[in-house]
Chain A
Amino acid sequence: MNEPDQSSRDDAMKHLDEMTCLLYIERQLDRARAQEISAHTQECAACRTLLRALERESRLLTRAMLEEEEALPARLAHFQERARQSMQWIWTVALGLAATGVYALYTGYVEPWQQQLEEAGFGGSNLLSLLIFQGAFWKGWQSMITLLEVLALVTLAGFAVAFFRKRVRRGSALALVLAGFCAALLFQPASAMASETRKGESVGVSHDETIKGDIFLFGDRVRVDGNVEGDVFLFGNDAIVNGHVKGDVFAFAKFLQLNGDVDGNIRAFTNTMTIRGTVARNVLTFVDIMNLEPAAKVGGSLTIFVENLTLEGALGRDVLMFGKHFTLSGKVGGNIRMKGDELTINSNAQVDGPIRFEGHKEAEVATGAKLASPVEFHRIEHKPKYMEGHYYVWRVIWTAAFILFGVVLFLLLPNFVAETITSAELVGAPIGLGVLIFFGVPIAAVIACVTVVGIPLGLLALGFWMLMLCCAEIVVGTVVGNWILGRAHDTSGLIGRMALGFVLVRLVYTGLEQMHVVGLLTGLAIWMWGMGSICLALYRRLQPAIAGGTPTAPYAPPLPPNTTVGGIQPA
């Protein structure tokens, strides 16, 4: 009985339209209209069914959309990491500038020097292979690497380590790779070091003696009268070589005389050097007074940093000289490049190549001198650096190179960098420590080098001291950046502050540099502050930890959004 009644009542009523029902379940109607609908649905079964169907449709839609049938794609899972690592445009610019700088430095400075070094007998391949892969690198002068090369090598090594660290997560594996690399480097010179060592007041190789390998001679008077089939290393006050050396001669002596024959090269750091004998290859020396007497014959070239050079003998190839006075009476088979005060060419001199002289006054050339071409003279003009445009270009390039170097360090050692910056913010303590380190380490290193055993330690300390010197400005720059932008909580924020601060420090320092004493003091302050901060951070690292790290908060996944439910809209 009820059904027909209900049905007939429904038919008699005006049914709700679908839009009204939808707005009702979505709570979009005002209170009065919603109450009307509510009352109507109490009476009308059809509209009640429609409302229920629409609500179920809403729930079905929400459920269908919320169900997670697809996992987050791997591309998105890694996106955050990639986005985080993405370089901003400033880094692109810095990288571009750094690359330009490296290229310009290579073509402008390194390549000419490389050619010069090749002529001086330091191998025929490129500079890097010369520095890294030749055993001779460990023996002598080639260890003089420019700041740029240090930076470039460290940056390259940093990138390599960062690259491996991404792939080799385990610290032990990384340590193994590094240890292997170091062992390979150490092993290489080790083979060249198989040698004999003699020490004493007066030491040497006697006339009838033949040394099969290398020999190290330490003494007040050092004398080589016999034959040496390897290299000779001389450390002494008075050194004389009368015999025959088939390898190279490396000399650290006050006086060095070469009366015999050397089949290889001579590399010497002496006060006075005299050559009367024959050198088959090249001579490279830092010396106060140098004489190549009339009987002397050098087959290769002469690269020399000298106060006074007198050349009366015969030189097969070129002369590259930095010094004060050069008097030429002998024969030079190649060209001459000299930067110094005076060049005197006597009448019995002969030069087969061009002569380029950069000095304060023109060369004096005697009339009988046989020259391939007239002397090309360039007067040295003392113009303030800041008056020249390229000074600023190089400043920008160096700034970019340092920032790049800093980026590598920050990415490689984020925790240590953060600790260093925290130490640097103390200001007083790091500067105090910096003064000690700045002066103390070089002195200690020199003292260590006096003993043979201490040489590696001394060189290592000096190397680390130089590395800290390079990093000092970066540390100070980061602190300045933190002062301006507030303290960073992550590596990329720290890198941004480093870049900003470094540029500002550079700007200020460039300005102050023109005021000599102030510039020097500013430079010293920056170096000491930075070095002190690094040492302080190192010191703290070496202290035993007092407390463990703070536990991280548990991960809470996001909750799904609400579903829509029907009902009366609240007033």
Chain B
Amino acid sequence: MSAPGKTEPTQAITRARVGDADAWGELYREYAPAIFRFCRRALPTREDAEDATMDVFMKLKDKLVQYDQTRSFTAWLYKVAANHCWDVLRRRKTRQDKETEDLENVPLEHPDPNQLDKLIEQRTSEEVRRALEKLGARARMALVMRYYSDMSYDEIADALGVRRAFVGVVLLRARHELRHALGESSALAARGAS
């Protein structure tokens, strides 16, 4: 889970744990951009992401003593951020979420591999980001946790409050939602229906 080649800021963490504000500032400078991007992907608006980033780092001050230094700091930090963002999203259940929850009961159609392959090839990162914004909270959160911060299925299950065995389903549904948002899902259903 930890980023390959990334040196853990062990000294800064140790100093920050005993209340060294300079060390805390060092951690903030290093990790704030990544956490902001995480929150930006997970939450609906830029303002939400800014607030969440600040909240995460304020929480970090208190939670740092709980951090197990034998594990990856980056992974732990993403976990804190994920929990916070999911809390934010859960607190404001929007109508859109309600609609996407209804969608979750619909059986998934098997995609046509060639059309899916073609679709992926044609889509740009920018289009994917725009499509992500249209997803429901859980789908979006699951994709961000898995494909941005590389969290494990166990960690995703823990953050979303679902059974581990259900994480794959959540991710697959999220992908389908994304394809739907990309406007191509109906065309992909050709082989699945047969």
- Taking Cβ atoms with an 8 Å cutoff, the residues of A that contact B are 17-19, 22-23, 26, 28, 46-47, 49-50, 52-54, 56-58, 60-70, 72-73, 75-76, 79-81, 83-84, 486, 488-493, 496, 555-564
Contact = CB atoms under 8 A, between A and B. Distances in A.
A80 B111 CA distance: 47
Q: Which of B24, B25, B143, B147 has the most CB of A within 10 A?
A: B147
A277 B111 CA distance: 115
Contact of A64 (B34, B111, B125): B125
A478 B41 CA distance: 45
8 contacts: A61-B143, A62-B147, A66-B37, A66-B148, A83-B28, A492-B19, A558-B6, A561-B3
Contacts of B110: 17-18
B21 A493 contact: yes
Given A64-B129, A80-B29, A489-B20, A73 B113 contact: no
Given A57-B116, A76-B54, A556-B7, A70 B24 contact: no
Given A22-B172, A488-B20, A561-B78, 18 more contacts: A19-B169, A22-B168, A26-B146, A50-B116, A58-B147, A67-B129, A75-B50, A76-B50, A80-B57, A81-B25, A83-B28, A83-B58, A489-B15, A491-B21, A493-B18, A557-B33, A558-B31, A563-B150
Given A26-B168, A489-B15, A79 B30 contact: no
A23 B168 contact: yes
Contact of B19 (A28, A49, A58, A496): A496
Interface in B1-30: 1, 3-7, 15, 18-25, 28-30
Contacts of B29: 80, 555
A484 to B, nearest CB: 13
B25 A84 contact: yes
Contacts of A79: 28, 32, 53-54, 57
A76 B28 CA distance: 10
A26 B153 CA distance: 9
B149 interface: yes
Given A49-B113, A73-B36, A492 B21 contact: yes
Contacts of B74: 558, 561
Contacts of A562: 1, 3-4, 150
B5 to A, nearest CB: 6
B71 interface: no
Chain B facing A: main interface SS: helix
Nearest to A18: B110
Given A76-B54, A490-B21, A561 B150 contact: yes
Main SS class of interface, A: helix
Given A76-B50, A83-B58, A561-B74, A53 B125 contact: no
A495 to B, nearest CB: 10
A84 B113 contact: no
Interface in B140-160: 143-144, 146-150, 153
A564 B150 contact: yes
Contact of B120 (A46, A60, A557, A559): A60
A554 to B, nearest CB: 12
A564 B20 CA distance: 36
Nearest to A56: B120
Given A56-B121, A60-B125, A19 B168 contact: yes
A50 B113 contact: yes
B46 interface: yes
B150 A559 contact: no
A8 B104 CA distance: 35
B134 to A, nearest CB: 14
A490 B50 contact: no
Contacts of B153: 26, 28
Contacts of B171: 22, 26
Contacts of B178: 61
3 shortest A-B CB distances, which residue pairs? A49-B113, A64-B128, A50-B113
B111 A18 contact: yes
B1 A76 contact: no
B20 A490 contact: yes
Contacts of B117: 49, 52-53, 56
B25 A65 contact: no
B147 A564 contact: yes
A7 to B, nearest CB: 13
Nearest to B143: A61
Contacts of B3: 558-562
A298 to B, nearest CB: 61
A68 B148 CA distance: 12
Contacts of A64: 125-126, 128-129, 132
B175 interface: yes
B80 to A, nearest CB: 14
A22 B175 CA distance: 10
Contacts of B4: 559, 562
A66 B178 CA distance: 17
Contacts of B138: none
Interface in B58-100: 58, 74, 78
Contacts of B150: 561-564
Contact of A564 (B23, B146, B172, B191): B146
Contacts of A60: 120, 123, 125, 128
B187 interface: no
Given A49-B117, A79-B57, A562-B3, A65 B168 contact: no
B114 A49 contact: yes
Contacts of B78: 561
A498 to B, nearest CB: 14
Contacts of B37: 65-66, 68, 70
Contacts of A558: 3, 6, 30-31, 33-34, 74
B23 to A, nearest CB: 8
A562 B28 CA distance: 21
Contacts of A49: 113-114, 117
A182 to B, nearest CB: 33
B106 to A, nearest CB: 15
Contacts of B121: 56
A46 B115 CA distance: 11
Contacts of A492: 19, 21
Contacts of A23: 168
B37 to A, nearest CB: 7
Given A22-B168, A489-B22, A560-B3, A76 B116 contact: no
Nearest to B109: A18
